[in-house]
Every structure is written in structure tokens, then in C-alpha cells.
């Protein structure tokens, strides 16, 4: 029987706290069990698939958190303002939680919950792109462009790649200007 008061959601909370402190590579059942105050075998009562299941649950949670952050940023905005808000929210999430961001899967996974969370994330981006009249295949190409910029900037920032003195916020502003100008003049087939 699972420990009273410990739920799968709380196990994921402990896993995320561990990841936040030490990075995704530190995620082990023993480390999470120690944080939760249970024996390692006891975690199987809460996360039956072991470490693989825990990694899956972490990926679902992180993807959902990012999707929620982007949706909140886009709310009530359209066009250039929506793009800017979503890109800034994406970068802010990554810089506030660099290790969680490192646990974010970049490739599709054959998992219903993860597909749903990723669908929400991409759905926010596609909804923002509708403000530029982009639908169907063109929306997909534009969403890939958007995600490439967002992920590239976030990954390079959190990885410490930007060491020169120029202001990173100014770089982000220019990146947003380039993307919004490109979206306004998106090539149509």
C-alpha cells in the first residue's frame, strides 16, 4: 500500500526539486526516495514503471508547465505582441528552470500524455501564428521556425554560450523583430 500522504504527483515534485538542484542526470530512484523519505522500493508503489516511468512523468509535467506559461503569455494578445510575449515567456521558463528545461524532450515520444502536453505547447504557437494568416502546412513551417528560434536561444542562454558583453535582452528584442518581420512577409506557395 502506498505511503499515506505520498502521491505520484508528489513523487514528481520531489524529482523536479532534485532536477532543479542537480540537473536531469541526477535523477535516480534512490535520490527521489531519499527526498520523499521512503525506501527506494517503495517508489514502485507510486511510480510502477520505475525510473523510466518517473522520467516520463517529469517530461509530461515540464512540457505542460511550459505550455501553460506560453498560453498565459499569449492570452489577450495577437500578432507581433503575442509572438514577443510567447518568445519571452519561453526564454524566461528556460532561464528560471534551466535543469527542468534540460529534461524537456525535443523529439516526439510514443506516449499519450506527453503527446497531449506537446500538442498543447505547439497549439499555442500555431494559434499565435494564425494572427499572421498562417494555416495548414504554412503554419507548421512557421511553427518549426518559431520553435527553432525559441529553443536555440533558450538552450544557448542556459548553456552559458552567450559570454560577450552585449545585452542579452537587446539580442532577444532583435531576434523578435527578425521573426515578426519574417512572419509578416512569410512566403506563400
Give per-residue pLDDT as tens, 89-109: 999 999 999 999 988 887 767
SS3 47: coil
Q: Which residues of 53-77 are buried (b: 16+ CB within 10 A; e: fewer)?
A: bbbbbbbbbbbbbbbbbbbebbeee
How far apart CA 145 and CA 114 sit, in angstroms, is 22
Q: Contact, 63 vs 142, CB < 8 A?
A: no
Give per-residue pLDDT as tens, 116-172: 999 999 999 999 999 999 999 999 999 999 999 999 999 999 888 998 989 999 999
What pTM was estimated for this model as a whole? 0.90
Amino acid at each position: 500500500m502506498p505511503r499515506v500522504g505520498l502521491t505520484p504527483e508528489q513523487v514528481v515534485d520531489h524529482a523536479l526539486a532534485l532536477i532543479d538542484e542537480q540537473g536531469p542526470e541526477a535523477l535516480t530512484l534512490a535520490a527521489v526516495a531519499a527526498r520523499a523519505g521512503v525506501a527506494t522500493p517503495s517508489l514502485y508503489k507510486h511510480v510502477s514503471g520505475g525510473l523510466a516511468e518517473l522520467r516520463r512523468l517529469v517530461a509530461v509535467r515540464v512540457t505542460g508547465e511550459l505550455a501553460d506559461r506560453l498560453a498565459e503569455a499569449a492570452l489577450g494578445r495577437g500578432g507581433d505582441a503575442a509572438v514577443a510575449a510567447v518568445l519571452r515567456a519561453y526564454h524566461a521558463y528556460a532561464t528560471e528552470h534551466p535543469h527542468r528545461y534540460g529534461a524537456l524532450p525535443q523529439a516526439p515520444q510514443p506516449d499519450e500524455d506527453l503527446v497531449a502536453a506537446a500538442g498543447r505547447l505547439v497549439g499555442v504557437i500555431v494559434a499565435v501564428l494564425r494572427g499572421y494568416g498562417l494555416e495548414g502546412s504554412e503554419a507548421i513551417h512557421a511553427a518549426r521556425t518559431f520553435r527553432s528560434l525559441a529553443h536555440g536561444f533558450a538552450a544557448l542562454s542556459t548553456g552559458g554560450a552567450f559570454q560577450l558583453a552585449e545585452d542579452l535582452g537587446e539580442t532577444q528584442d532583435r531576434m523578435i523583430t527578425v521573426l515578426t518581420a519574417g512572419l509578416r512577409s512569410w512566403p506563400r506557395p
